[in-house]
Amino acid sequence: MQKIIKSIIVFLFIFVLLVFYNSLNRETNYSTDYLVGNKLTNINLKSFDDNKIYTSEDFQKSRYTLINFWASWCAPCRIEHPYLMQLSKEKNLKIIGVNFKDKKINASKFLNELGNPYYYMAKDTTGKQSVNFGIYGIPESILIDNETIVLKKFVGPLNEQNFNDIKEIINSL
């Protein structure tokens, strides 16, 4: 019996070491990688300009859609804007902009100054709609296909690497 107890103690010691080793090597920052492959459902994006609502069916019209969450008060949104302008020229891609907790006058000024890359502009004045997309800060962008399956999620401003990744995906056919 003493041998069994000793073995249990050794086993527990090794187990605790393994748990510590595993925990210390694990990524502790929140990651949204698990969202890739998920289907977005219950999409109802209210138009920035009128009463129109963009739904899941509207996404079927384009092979790929990039949903970009932005605001005029968001400084990093200015950094990623030139990439969005370039991506708006791509044939296989439509960009949907979701104006997040912003004032209409400021958002319009922002787009007049930097250009409008959006095929459709939606508004989320309270931020509640963005929760449906798993958004927790802006800028964030989600690349989806025509079945609203998430292909890639970008947290923070788009950079050159992200830009190239998007181009590679949408031109992979």
Partner 1 sequence: MRFKILLIIFFLNLNINLHANELVEESKIHKNLRCLVCQGQSIADSNSDFALTLKMVVKDLIDQGKAEEEIYSFLSDKYGDWILYKPKINQGNFLLWGLPYLALIIGGVIIVFLIRKSSKKA
The residues annotated with a catalytic role in the active site are: 74, 77
The amino acid occupying position 73 is W
Segment contacting partner 1 (CB under 8 A): 89-97, 104-112, 133-141, 164-172? 133-141
Choosing from 3, 24, 25, 30, the residue that interacts with partner 1 (CB under 8 A) is: 30
| Shorter beta-carbon distance to partner 1: residue 62 or 68 | 68
| Shorter beta-carbon distance to partner 1: residue 53 or 131 | 131
Do residues 54 and 47 touch, judged by C-beta distance below 8 A? Answer: yes
- Among residue numbers 88 through 107, which ones bind partner 1 (CB under 8 A)? 101
Segment contacting partner 1 (CB under 8 A): 1-9, 64-72, 83-91, 161-169? 1-9
Q: What is the closest distance, in whole angstroms, from the C-beta atom of residue 8 to partner 1 in the complex?
A: 6
On the 0-12 / 13-18 / 19+ scale of CB atoms within 10 A, 157 is buried
Cα separation, 68 vs 88, whole angstroms: 12
Q: Does 115 bind partner 1 (CB under 8 A)?
A: no
Segment contacting partner 1 (CB under 8 A): 48-56, 66-74, 82-90, 121-129? 121-129
Cα separation, 42 vs 165, whole angstroms: 27
Q: What is the closest distance, in whole angstroms, from the C-beta atom of residue 3 to partner 1 in the complex?
A: 12
Cα separation, 125 vs 130, whole angstroms: 10
Q: Does 149 bind partner 1 (CB under 8 A)?
A: no
On the 0-12 / 13-18 / 19+ scale of CB atoms within 10 A, 88 is middle
- Return the sign of the alpha-carbon dihedral for residues 158, 162, 164, 166: negative
Residue 108: how many other CB atoms lie within 10 Å: 17
Q: Does 21 bind partner 1 (CB under 8 A)?
A: no
Contacts to partner 1 by CB under 8 A: 1, 5, 8, 12, 30-32, 34-35, 38, 101, 126-128, 130-134, 136-137
